[in-house]
Amino acid sequence: MNATPPTGETASESNTDTDDEDAATTPPHELVDGDTPLVVHPRGGAREVGRSCYQVETADGTYLVDCGLNQGSGGQFPDFRGLGTEAIDAVFLTHAHIDHIGALPVLEHRNLLSRDATVICTQATAAIAHLLLHDSLKIHLEETKKPGRERQFERTDVEEVLARCDPITGYDTGSVTDHVATDDTLTYRFGDAGHLLGSAWLSLEVGGRRVVFSGDLGGRSAHLHDIETPPSADTLILESTYGDRDTHPSFQDARTDLYNESINAIEQGIPVLIPTFAVGRAQEILQIFRERWRSLDEDTRAEFQLIYDGLATQATDRYHAFAGPEYINESVMNYMQNAADFEPFVPDVAQRPANSDDRERLLNMETPPIIVAPSGMLTGGLSPAYLHDLLTHYDEMRLIFTGYQADGTLGREIQGADETAHISIETRPIRPPARDDDTEPDQQPGERDGFSIFEHTLPTNWVHSISGMSGHAARNDLLQFARHVDPTHVAFVHGEPSVQREMLSHFESNLDADVITRAALRTSMPVYPPESDLVAYQIDSEAASSTVTVREKTELDEYGDDGSPTPAPSQAAAVDDSGQTVTETEPTGDDADSDAIDPATLDYLTERLAAIDTELAALRNDERRSEAELRALIRDEVREVLETDD
């Protein structure tokens, strides 16, 4: 009999992609037991790109993996319903992009973090999170000045949650007890995900069960390491952003395309705007120009003007601060050493405006600029202001997208237009509007500290999208990552529904996993052992029995609604002195009292069995030991425990 699979859609099912917000789901803590000591409960990032947030429940703790916000349409923050005051013991961060960290201050504001809860991440992630959360606060305060927008967090919430950061050096393993005062035996491992400076996949393990969270996987960078090989695990929570395509266009070709498109434009006197993510993508783009601008002819090089602005300037400073072998690949490290250049992400000619006057001065120069500025989806930052300025002051411009444009963003609106995009840009102007009435955009004055709404017409032949620059792995690399993990259960997250459905069919044909699902919001996923030969062992502390039991799953086992095995109520398979399995009725009543173990011995036995749990997980997942070998190991360990007790 196969265990009931974790709740979610398989390829043969036709669940809708809308989550019933009022649907009653079993609280994750009620699913935790001896056979399922680890439960994952999505609170965001399921069937959507944005607000990644996954609750992890153990017998002794409640944790979150990431806690982001949604920059497009849909719910902005994760769904925290059901979490009590001070419920969360720690938060693990895979990386510092805002869709993975942006809701951290909300946890503080709603008092959902326990008093000594920590935020566990790499040092680079902590440094970038500090930058992005303060910027996110500015955007949030601006947005909540609009009618009907309620403030979800304050400046003090940002400062307090950042003070909880307890970063690790590089990529390392550890125990939650290294960061929080707890009896939980949960251990973790971070590995390089190749997506962003300090980005990681995360492995969590407790009670012999292991789950791997991919975070955002990259492997497509000119300065980061390749994706580090992950360990085997029972369950894999896998991103699926580009799960509908086997590969991306060539990364090197994309870099060349971006460079050539930009240079061709400025040689014609046409300015270029490259809206970009401040962290990661901005540095990739700046690195391209640093590598190639010296190859320009002398006349073009003399007038070459590259502006990088906004949050990209501070993010680049952090990249330079952490430009070491832990995070940066060998080729860039060699360049830094050979050229004695410790700022490898900007060319010498790049300029960063210090203030609004400096910005206006640079734009008033005769040479048309190449501008690199956040945000990448034109949802905030300075890129909307630069877009308005170039549309106002030039007869023609180039707008180059290098990344994903989420639903509900200005970037997606422009990409989806036919021949002409009619757009509204809400921004503070960098320069006064043109004097010629024919070139002035229609303006509707705003009421928010100098913000105004400007209407523009943008021909789509001025827009160029480069998909090969994506920092997300495509399907072949996602499949390779999954094969390394070799899980019993794969659950897709961080992807659009149509993409996930296509990826689901592909994985079912190409991956040897028992269950492949699309994670659903607020639907728990117990981390099950392999469905062949479930091995369980336990001390029946309720009956205070000295019998240590070992049970092999049989066709007669019953399974509850949550898929966890339910043993027969009064019998278990016990190991006798010869190592053979025998059926024994567990003591009850007076017999149980007479065989009771003193508390100190019970604690000792529990610790020994917890240690066996950890060893079994390593043998099963890392060394690929068979279940027969594991049962033999258990019998040996149980015999030793019983002899010690005697």
CATH number of the CATH domain containing 474:
3.60.15.10
State the Cα–Cα distance between residues 331 and 339, nearest whole angstrom.
12
In a domain, 161, yes or no: yes
Q: Are residue 541 and residue 456 in the same domain, yes or no?
A: no
Q: Are residue 451 and residue 489 in the same domain, yes or no?
A: no
- Per-residue confidence band for 31, with pLDDT thresholds at 50, 70 and 90: very high
Q: Are residue 379 and residue 518 in the same domain, yes or no?
A: no
Sign for the pseudo-dihedral over CA of 315, 320, 322, 323: positive
Q: Which of 431, 452, 469 is the last residue of a domain?
A: 469
Strand order in the sheet with 209-213: 173-175, 187-192, 200-206, 209-213, 235-239, 489-493, 515-518
In a domain, 29, yes or no: no
Tell me which residue range forms the domain holding 585. 535-645
Please tell me the least confidently modeled range out of 64-68, 212-216, 346-350, 539-543.
539-543
Q: Are residue 154 and residue 275 in the same domain, yes or no?
A: no
Position 646 scores a pLDDT of: 54
State the Cα–Cα distance between residues 631 and 612, nearest whole angstrom.
11
The torsion angles phi and psi of 362, rounded to 5 degrees, stand at -65, -40
- Per-residue confidence band for 145, with pLDDT thresholds at 50, 70 and 90: confident
Residues 445-458: tens digit of each pLDDT: 444 456 889 999 99
Looking at the 3D structure of the chain, how many domains does it have?
Answer: 3
In a domain, 24, yes or no: no
Q: Are residue 47 and residue 138 in the same domain, yes or no?
A: yes
Average pLDDT of the residues in 548-573: 34
The residue with tokens 């479930």 is 534
Q: Are residue 262 and residue 175 in the same domain, yes or no?
A: no
Q: Which of 441, 469, 497 is the last residue of a domain?
A: 469
Q: Is it the case that residue 560 has pLDDT exceeding 80?
A: no
Q: Are residue 409 and residue 550 in the same domain, yes or no?
A: no
Q: Are residue 361 and residue 272 in the same domain, yes or no?
A: yes
Asked if residues 181 and 116 have their Cβ atoms less than 8 Å apart, the reply is yes
Residues 312-342: tens digit of each pLDDT: 999 999 999 999 999 999 999 999 999 999 9
Q: Are residue 319 and residue 439 in the same domain, yes or no?
A: yes
Q: Are residue 334 and residue 213 in the same domain, yes or no?
A: no
Residues 156-168: tens digit of each pLDDT: 999 999 999 999 9
Please tell me the least confidently modeled range out of 15-24, 43-52, 348-357, 362-371.
15-24
Q: At what angle do helices 281-292 and 251-267 cross, to 10 degrees?
A: 70
Q: Are residue 280 and residue 427 in the same domain, yes or no?
A: yes
Sign for the pseudo-dihedral over CA of 83, 88, 92, 95: positive
Q: Are residue 451 and residue 345 in the same domain, yes or no?
A: yes
Residues 480-518: tens digit of each pLDDT: 999 999 999 999 999 999 999 999 999 999 999 999 999
The torsion angles phi and psi of 484, rounded to 5 degrees, stand at -65, -40
In a domain, 564, yes or no: yes
In a domain, 13, yes or no: no
Average pLDDT, the chain: 82
Nearest to 282 by CA among 262, 260, 308, 261: 308
How large a percentage of the chain has pLDDT more than 90?
64
In a domain, 31, yes or no: no
CA distances from 32 to 465, 567, 614 (A): 47, 15, 17
